[in-house]
Chains A and B, each alone.
Chain A
C-alpha cells in the first residue's frame, strides 16, 4: 500500500486540526474559574439519572441540587440555619413537629415548594422503612406551607434526633417527579408492615414496600434536565469523571449564591483528588494523605488542610467479661502502659490528635458538655509504667524475667485483634511494641474489614477479648458513644422501642455491667443513663448525665481511646474567600457533616476572590 502526496497532505491537515482542537477540550472544562467552584465528589455512572440514594454513590451530589428544610449546626442543641423552612415548632412532649415553609422557596422551574413536596419526601422515607425507625406515624398537610409530623408517643426516640431527621437529614424532593410512584394505598401498606414480625400479612406488606422502593430507585429520568431542583444549583450534565451544576435562580437564597456553577470531579480513588489539587483544579476535597503527598499538595495553589472535629477514632476495646480484662485494674494498667502520643504519631500523623482524657468524648465535646472542674476530676491516664505495675500487682500479677505472669502462673499474653487499615496497623504495632517492652506479651492479628466484621460483633461475643475498634459513635451527641461503650460494644442497637434493653442476636451479650461503683461518684447505672440521653430531658439533666457517664467511662475503661481521628479536609483559597470557620464551631462542623462550601454559600458567607 502506498500513499499519494495528496492523501498524505489530507491526513496531515486532519491530524493538525485534531491536534489543535484537542487541547480545547477536557482540561479546560475542569478548570476552576472565579465564579465556579470545583470540588471532589463521588458517584457511580450507572447509565440512569435518578437522584435517590444508591449504594455506589448518589448520582446527584448531596446538598448541591436538593436542599433540606434546615441545616443542623451539630452543636448538641436545637440550633439550625433555616433553608426551605421558615420556622418550626416541637410540641412539649416531643410527639409533634410543625414545619412552616418559606413562601419564597421555589423549584428550579419557578413553581413553589409546597407542603405536598415535603409530604411526598417523607412518604418515600416510609417506603424505604426509615421513618418508622424514628417513631414517625404520619404527616398532615395543614395548608400549602404548613405540615405536621406525628410521632408514636410510645416510641423511644428523642426530639433532638427526630428534628434532625425532619429538618436536616432529608433533602426535600419534588412531588412533581416522585408522586407518580406513591401508591394510593400506601398508608394501609405501611400500617400492615408494622404488624407482628412473622405474620404473613406483615411480610407481604414489607415486600410491597421494598418493591415500590426498587421501582423508585431504578426509574430512569434519562436527563438531569428532566428533573426540577430546590437546591442552590441545578444538576446540568454528568459523565463518569465530572458533573456540572449551574446556579438555580429560583433557589430560596439565590441572592447569597456567588458561584455560578459547581463542577464535581469523581473521586473514585484518593489519587484523583491529589492530582486535581496539585493541578489547582479543585477548591475542596475530603481526602486522606500520605506525608509526601500531603507536602506536595499543600505547597501549591493555596491549598490548606483543616482537621475538623469528628467524634471518632481508634480505640482498644475490651470484652469486660473475659479474664483478665474483666478486672478494671488490668484495663487501667494497660491504659497506663500505652503511650498514646507516640502511637498516634506512628499511626495517624495527619488529621488526628491523641486522646487527652479517655472518657468517651472527643476534646471538643468535652469542652462542650463538661465544666472545667468536671474535666479536671477525670483521670488522664498518662504513660506511667510504674502505676501500671502497681495496678497489676494489686490483682495478683507478678513480673518475672519472662515478663508479666498472671496469678495462675501463666504468662500474660494479649492478642490484639484489628481491622486491617494501614494506619491502624502501624499504630497498633507501635502499641504492641510498647506493651512488649513493658513485659506484656502482645501480638496483633490483623484481618480485612469484611472478615473482621463478618465475625458478628467479635468483642461482644468474646471472640475478640481485646480488639481495636472505632470509638466515639461518629456523632457529637453523647448518646452514641455511650451506647457503644455500655450497651452494644458495637453497632448493634439493643434497646427496644419501649426503652428496654433486649438481647441482641445470639451469641451476642452485653458485656458491660448494669451498675458500676465509681470512686467519688457512687453507684452509676450506665445503660439507664445512656437510654435517658435519648429521651426528652432537659439540657441541664443531659449535662449532668453526660458527666456521670464520662466519669464512669473514665474509671471503668470499656475501651481505651487512643487517638481521635479528625475530619481531614483540604480547601483552596486561590479563588475563594472562605468564612472564618475556625472561630465558629457550627461552621467548622460543616466540614465534618456536610459539603461545607454549599452551607457557606447558602448562608452568604463565601465570596470569589477579586
Chain B
C-alpha cells in the first residue's frame, strides 16, 4: 500500500508538472500582452495616449522580452525553489502571497457550498428514487435538472437582482463589511456569514441538481440489488433498509465529490467575479483580464494540483470505504 501510494503520488507530480508546463505556453499564446492590455485600458479610461505610455512604462517597469523558452527555463528554476514568481500587474507582489491571501476565502465558500449542495442533492435523490413515478419525484428531478442546466453566472446575477436590488436582504459584494476587522470575532463572523450567503446560495443552486440526479440513479440501481431484496424478504425495518440503501448508493458519488473540489475552483471564477469576492476565482479572472501570466499560471497550477490530488485521495479513500475495490 505505501509503495502504491508513493507511485501514485510520483505520477501525480509528473502530471502536475506537465500540465503546468503546457499552461505556461498556452497563456502566452493568448492574444495581447500585459503591456498592450494596460495601455488600452488607460486610454479607454480617458488618459491621453502619450501619458498612457508613460504610465505603462512606470507601472510595468520592464517587459519580458526574452524568448519564451528562456522564460520557461527561468520559470522552472524558480519553481524548483518553490517560487511562483511575481505578479506583472501587481508589480513586485509575489504570486504565492496573492494565492495564499485568496485561498482561504475560496476554500471556505467552495467547501460549504459543495457540502450543502451535496447533502441536499443526496436527500432529494433518495426521496426521488423512493417515490419514482410520482409527481413528487418528477418535480424534484425537473427542478434539479433546470437548476443544474442554468449557467452559474446567470444564477449568480439572478440571486443578486432578487436579494439585493429588489428585496435588499443581502449585500451585493465582498466577503465582509468594511467596518469589521477580519479575525476570530463575532462581528466579523456574522458579517462574513451574511456576505457569503449569496455566493454559497449560488454554489448550492448550481450544484445540487447533479447530485440529486446522480444519487437517484445509483439509488434506483442499488434498490434492485440482491441484498436489498433479501432485506425486504427478511422483513427488516424500513429505516434499516434505508440505511443500507443510503450508504451503498452514496459510495459511487464519493469519487465525484472529491473531484468536485477541484472543479468548483473553476466555477468560482464566475461566482467570485460576480460578487467581488476576494478568492482564487476572482484573482484568476483579474489575472486573465490583465494578462498577468505568473498569476494565471499560479492559479491554474493550484486548480490542476487540487483535481489531481483529490483524484488520488478519492482512489485511496474509496478503497478504504469499500474493501471490494482494493480486492
* Chain A minimum-CB-distance residue to B63: A210
Per the bound structure, the CA–CA distance linking A238 and B179 in Å amounts to: 9
Whether A44 and B286, one on each chain, are in contact in the complex, defined by CB atoms closer than 8 angstroms, is yes
Tell me whether A473 and B49 are in contact in the complex, defined as CB-CB below 8 angstroms, given that A213-B61, A451-B31 are known contacts. Answer: yes
Pick from A27, A211, A268, A454: contact of B276, CB under 8 Å: A268
Residue in B43, B55, B175, B193 whose beta carbon sits within 8 Å of that of A240 in the complex: B175
Q: Are A272 and B173 in contact (CB under 8 A)?
A: yes
Contact across chains for B178 and A310 when beta carbons are under 8 A apart = no
- A47 and B101 within 8 A (CB): yes
B89 adjacent to chain A (CB < 8 Å) = yes
In the complex, what residue of chain B is closest to A45 when comparing beta carbons? Answer: B278
Counting CB contacts under 8 A, is A592 at the interface? yes
Residue of A nearest to B87 (CB): A46
Instruction: Please give, as numbers and ranges, the residues of chain A lying within 8 Å of B191 by CB-CB distance.
Output: 25-26
Q: Whole-angstrom distance between the alpha carbons of A552 and B190 in the complex?
A: 66
Say whether A48 contacts B97, CB under 8 Å: yes
Q: For residue B71, give the distance in angstroms from its CB to the closest CB of chain A.
A: 16
> Which B residues are in CB contact (< 8 Å) with A453?
32, 36, 40
Q: A210-B61, A450-B37 are in contact. Are A29 and B165 (CB under 8 A)?
A: no
Do B180 and A25 touch across chains, with their CB atoms under 8 A apart? yes
Q: Are A55 and B34 in contact (CB under 8 A)?
A: yes
- Whether B223 sits at the interface, judged by CB under 8 Å, is no
Question: How far is B101's CA from A220's CA once the two chains are assembled, in angstroms?
Answer: 13
| Cα–Cα, bound, A216→B91 (Å) | 9
Q: Are A239 and B59 in contact (CB under 8 A)?
A: no
CB-contact partner of B171 in A27, A55, A215, A451, under 8 A: A27
Q: Chain A nearest CB: distance from B159 CB in Å?
A: 12
Question: Which residues of chain B in 44-84 are interfacial with respect to chain A, using CB atoms and an 8 Å cutoff?
Answer: 46-55, 57-62
**A-side contacts of B36, CB under 8 Å:** 450, 453-454
Tell whether B21 is near chain A: CB-to-CB under 8 Å. Answer: no
Q: How far is the CA of A179 from the CA of B54 in the complex (A)?
A: 22
Given contacts A237-B178, A241-B174, A474-B47, contact A47 B97 (CB under 8 A): yes
Within 8 Å by CB of A263, from B49, B93, B178, B276, lies B178
Tell me which residues across on chain A come within 8 A of B157, comparing CB atoms. 271
Q: Knowing A26-B191, A28-B177, A491-B53, say if A219 contacts B171 (CB, 8 Å).
A: no
Given contacts A128-B58, A240-B278, contact A47 B98 (CB under 8 A): yes
Question: Within 8 Å of chain A (Cβ to Cβ): is B86?
Answer: yes
| B91 and A217 contacting across the interface, CB-CB below 8 Å | yes
Q: Does B277 have its Cβ within 8 Å of any Cβ on chain A?
A: yes
Closest-CB distance, B33 to chain A (whole angstroms): 8
Contact partner of A22 among B49, B193, B292, CB < 8 A?
Answer: B193
Q: Please give the distance in Å from B202's CB to the nearest CB on chain A.
A: 15
A211 to nearest B CB, angstroms?
8
The interface residues of chain B lying within 8 Å CB-to-CB of A218 are 86, 90-93
Nearest-Cβ distance from residue A486 to partner chain B, whole angstroms: 15
Interface status of B264 (Cβ within 8 A of chain A):
no
| A residues in contact with B179, CB < 8 Å | 25, 29, 237, 244
Asked if A241 contacts B51 (CB within 8 A), the reply is no
A269 in the interface (beta carbon within 8 A): yes
**Inter-chain contact A130/B54, CB cutoff 8 Å:** yes
Number of B interface residues at 8 Å Cβ cutoff, please give it.
72
A29 touches B177 (CB 8 A): yes
Which chain A residues in 22-54 approach chain B with CB under 8 Å? 22-30, 44-48, 52-54
Q: A214-B61, A276-B172 are in contact. Are A53 and B55 (CB under 8 A)?
A: yes
Bound: A287/B89 CA distance, A? 23
Report the separation of the CA atoms of residues A349 and B15 in the bound assembly, to the nearest whole angstrom: 52
Kindly supply a per-residue 1/0 record for chain A positions 37-79, scoring 1 wherever the CB is within 8 Å of any chain B CB and 0 otherwise: 0000000111110001111100000000000000000000000
* B57, chain A: closest CB distance, angstroms: 5
**A239 x B278 contact (CB < 8 A):** yes
Residue pair A217, B59 in contact (C-beta under 8 Å): yes
Q: Check if B168 is an interface residue, CB within 8 A of chain A.
A: yes
Are the CB atoms of A567 and B91 closer together than 8 Å? no
CA distance A454 to B40 in the complex (A): 11
A470 on interface, CB distance cutoff 8 Å: yes
Separation of A275 and B163 alpha carbons in the complex (Å): 11
Q: Which residue of B lies closest to A44 (CB)?
A: B286
A480:B48 contact, CB within 8 angstroms: yes
Q: B273: which A residues are within 8 A, CB to CB?
A: 268-269
Q: Does A577 belong to the interface (CB within 8 Å)? A: no
Complex Cα spacing A278 to B57, Å: 39
Q: Per-residue CB proximity of B144-187 to A under 8 Å, as 1/0?
A: 00000000000001001100110011111111111110000011
In the complex with contacts A29-B179, A240-B175, A278-B165, A55-B31 CB distance below 8 A: no
Q: What is the 8 Å Cβ interface bit string for chain A, positions 271-312, against chain B (1 contact, 0 not)?
A: 110011011000000000000000000000000000000101
1/0 per residue, CB under 8 A from B, across A137-157: the answer is 000000000000000000000
Cross-interface CB contact of A239 among B89, B160, B178, cutoff 8 Å? B178
- Which residue of chain B has its CB nearest to the CB of A30? B171
B58 A213 Cβ-Cβ under 8 A: yes
B38 interfacial by beta-carbon distance below 8 Å: yes
Q: B92 — nearest CB in chain A belongs to which residue?
A: A218
B48 to chain A minimum Cβ distance, whole angstroms, is 4
> Does A243 touch B at the CB level, under 8 Å?
yes
The residues of B that contact A214 with a CB separation of less than 8 Å are 61, 86, 91-92
Give min CB distance, A207 to chain B, whole Å. 7
Chain B proximity of A298: nearest CB distance (Å)? 15
16 further A-B pairs in the complex, CB-CB below 8 A; given A25-B187, A55-B59, A453-B36 = A25-B191, A46-B93, A55-B37, A56-B290, A217-B61, A218-B93, A238-B178, A239-B175, A240-B174, A241-B171, A268-B282, A271-B160, A272-B173, A450-B37, A491-B52, A593-B46
Q: 4 nearest interchain CB pairs?
A: A218-B92, A241-B174, A450-B32, A128-B58
The 5 listed contacts between A and B (C-beta, < 8 Å) are A55-B59, A130-B54, A241-B171, A241-B172, A275-B165
